[in-house]
Amino acid sequence: MATQLTTDAGQPALDWQDRRLPLADTADLRAALVEANVQTLLMVYVHLTHDEAMLATFQNYIKPPFAMPGTDIPEEYQQELREKLRHVLTTPGAAREDAPSKALMQRMMSVSVGEPVEDEFLPLLMDQIGFERSTPRREIAGRKPAPAGFKVLVIGAGLTGLAASIKLEEAGYEQVVIEKNPEIGGTWYENRYPGVGVDTPSHFYSYSFEITPEWTTYHPVGADMQKYLLHVTEKYDLRRHIRFETTVVSLAYDDEAAMWDVTVRGVDGTEEVLRVNAVINAHGPVNRWKWPNIPGFDTFRGVRMHTATWDPAVDLRGKRVAVIGTGASGAQLVPAIAGEVKDLTVFMRSCHWVIYNPEIAHEVPPGMKFALRHIPHFREWFRFRVYWFAADGLFANVLKDPEWPVDSPSVSALNEGMRQYALAHLDAKFADRPDLLEKLTPDFPIFSKRIILDNGWFDALKRDNVTLESGGIAEITETGIRMEDGTTYEVDVIVCATGFDVANMLGKLEVHGIGGRSLRDEWGHDDPRSYMGVTVPGYPNYFLTVGPNSAPNHAAGQNLISEVQVNYIIECLDWANASDKRAVEPRRDAFEAWNTQIDTRMQDMIWTHPKANSYYNNSKGRIFLSWPYRLVDYWNEMRGPKKDHFELH
């Protein structure tokens, strides 16, 4: 069934190019100018007029988050801005048709966020915020067309796999996308538990080439993400490339033909071998969910569920429910169900740092939606503002200060400041519950593992029908959970919010490269290594996404990583094609040098603090997941391959 994003009134959402001037001087417009973000309105006004005097008027009043002291923008300045912008928006010929210069754009960006936006960030920002739209590759003058019959197989139709399909189409490559589920979406199709949502702000967590204003909250709920991805699938007609309910079983490289033989299995168990030129593995790290390893787990006679395989038919009302796990999924689930269950016992192995973000549950008001839908450039400038405060500005928090005491529960003065900010929220919430305060106070640095955004999590733990249990579980019985101290909890339902087997990046997939070599043998269960998170020597034209040491664990930005990795992969294929070669493979020495650089760099990062332990580490403690530099650095690295680091076949 076709899915299209719509406005609250059920009308089709406007595409970016549909915003035209002049606008009608309506009550909706006037209301939007009052309700919409002032800093973004300022950017729109200057974008349309190039009036730098207004920047000078506002620049002393706009501060970044956590800046001290804060200064409110005077109301008379805000009113003057609204009136001037209303005139420009509604008066024929009042807006300039030429775009601001790069120098003016940079000044605008700096004023908008209250701190300097340096030159090095501009190419990324112009690309990711949507101000510059790249020409589809097949339309680039002088580019050699993709070879006829050259086929790329994409594993997975989630956020990354769909991006790969769109860009492969734009580049003219034949493709097939293999999806194990009956529908697209990946994580956002599978995860349907109550309260499921996204840490990344809504107005950035989307493709830069498909920005939408149709978010219901400032942080997207899972259903909104799935609706967005369905919209993208229909708009770009991607279903014609996708084979649903099909699993990739194995990949085997044919050295002589420079082809991959891909064994796929249908839902009926029938297997087939597809012969393709290249493979993009976009199956993602968060679909291999895992049950807890607890004695007696299989003996429980009640209902067992994992958050990643939630059964909406299970009625929790009036039930005694156990939730095992207090990471991001558990912290979202518990507030969503605490009010309807009889008793809720939450089993915590280790606590997490929690940050209060008052916007996380806020609905996007009508005025903001109107501005995002109808006012030219508002969408892009708001996306810039959201991105800036959720991205590389946070990087300093994960960088160790070499002069900072190694036994401190923080790694720098800035990191300690964020720790105190989180502690203040914790202390305020549990001033009357010292028992919970003690259980929930972490002893490791903030940002050394995934942060939880408080969307009712702390309040839920204080409810009379909720118990937080931090002791060890001895076993699961037929009727409940017995603790190591002998305490027994009788429950009707056990929900496991126990995460995913992230380190096993192959999952059940078998990959055999040149000479039959096995990637599973080389990686083992949980020690994956690659070159730049995308390629591996010995496996020509086999490309990873969200591969080893490419995850943006200091900030929001998985959508950015997905886009830039897809860009890099197609640049590699285009280079091989332009060179009349069939395949591209990283050199062994480049791979080894890169991994040595990564391991050395990790000693400067928060994730190697003595008390840091998370799913970013493998069983030996190596940080296999995190990208130890900034997002802008990865964006730059992904512009195209360093040709002396590769061999062409």
Confidence (pLDDT) at 285: 80
Nearest to 461 by CA among 346, 573, 557: 346
Asked if domains 144-288+502-638 and 297-359+404-496 share a fold, the reply is yes
Question: Would you state the pLDDT for residue 1?
Answer: 37
**Does residue 281 carry a pLDDT above 50?**
yes
pTM value is: 0.95
Task: Give percent of the chain above pLDDT 70.
Answer: 96
Q: What share of the chain has pLDDT > 90, as a percent?
A: 92
By the 10 Å C-beta count (0-12 exposed, 13-18 middle, 19+ buried), 269 is classed as: exposed
Determine which helix (DSSP H) or strand (DSSP E) holds 344, and give its type and residue range. Answer: strand 343-347
Q: So what's the pLDDT on residue 67?
A: 57
Residue 266 corresponds to which tokens in the numbers above?
A: 């249908």
> Can you read off the two tokens belonging to residue 26?
């309506």
User: CB within 8 A of 438, min separation 6: which ones?
Assistant: none
Cα 551 to Cα 12, 146, 211, 220: the distances in Å are 35, 30, 22, 20
Q: Which among 168, 177, 209, 150 has a CA at the least distance from the CA of 282?
A: 177
Distant-in-sequence, close-in-space partners of 482: CB < 8 Å, separation ≥ 6: 473, 474, 475, 476, 488, 489
Here the tokens at position 492 are 């009707």
Does pLDDT of 340 surpass 90? yes
Region 627-634 average pLDDT: 98
Average pLDDT over residues 629-647: 98
| pLDDT value for 2 | 40
What mean pLDDT comes out for the span 505-524? 97
pLDDT band at 16 (very low <50, low <70, confident <90, very high): very low
Q: How far apart are CA 250 and CA 373, in angstroms?
A: 45
CATH class of 297-359+404-496: alpha beta
Where do the domains of the chain lie? 16-134+364-392, 144-288+502-638, 297-359+404-496
- State the Cα–Cα distance between residues 206 and 439, nearest whole angstrom: 36
Class of domain 144-288+502-638: alpha beta
Exposure class string for 37-76: b at 16+ Cβ within 10 A, else e? bbbbbbbbbbbbbebeebbebbeebbbeeeeeeeeebeee
Helix (H) or strand (E) holding 523: helix 519-523
pLDDT of residue 134: 86
Nearest 5°: phi and psi at 259? -130, 155
**In 514-576, at which residue ranges do the beta strands (DSSP E only) sit?**
542-544
pLDDT of residue 8: 52
Q: Half-sphere exposure of 421 toward its Cβ, with a 13 Å CA cutoff?
A: 17
State the pLDDT at residue 9: 47
Please calculate the CA angle 189-556-525 and round it to the nearest 5 degrees: 65
Q: Give all strands (DSSP E) within 550-593, no chain letters.
A: 584-586
Higher pLDDT, 380 or 134: 380
- Three-state DSSP state, 123: helix
